[in-house]
Amino acid sequence: MPTLGELERAVMETLWSATGPVTARDVQEALASRDLATTTVLTVLGRLERKGLVTREREGRAHRYRSVASREDHVAELMRDALDAAPDRGAVLARFLGTIAADERAALRKLLD
């Protein structure tokens, strides 16, 4: 799973929060506090497309972009990648469980049952 830079994460958050495919202008407006040029947004969207995280479809003169997978799917894939990198998966899982709140551990127990 490719890693994301700060701006790439912000763009992905915008796509994940959208109710459907969005234009680069939509992304730019959603990230207005960053004062990004349209070309910057297009560059980031192109990078995300090459990383396989975003698809685009032509609509008139513009393209509409959407994420390939949900935020939850992306995070789950990152977690799998992290586990795959560990020689002792059990130790990593034990450490992880030791860092999460009791209610999250209970939710995990419920999911496992």
Contact 89, 38 (CB under 8 A): no
- DSSP for 5-63 reads -HHHHHHHHHHHHSSS-B-HHHHHHHTGGG---HHHHHHHHHHHHHTTSEEEEEETTEE
| 6-67: CATH topology | Arc Repressor Mutant, subunit A (1.10.10)
Put simply, whether the predicted model's pTM sits higher than 0.95 gets the answer no
Which residues, at least 6 apart from 95, have a Cβ–Cβ distance to it below 8 Å? none
Q: Over the chain, what is the mean pLDDT?
A: 94
Say if residue 69's pLDDT is above 80. yes
Average pLDDT over residues 82-96: 92
Q: Where do the structural domains in the chain lie, given as residue ranges?
A: 6-67, 71-112
Mean pLDDT value of segment 84-112: 93
| Separation of alpha carbons 100 and 113, rounded Å | 19
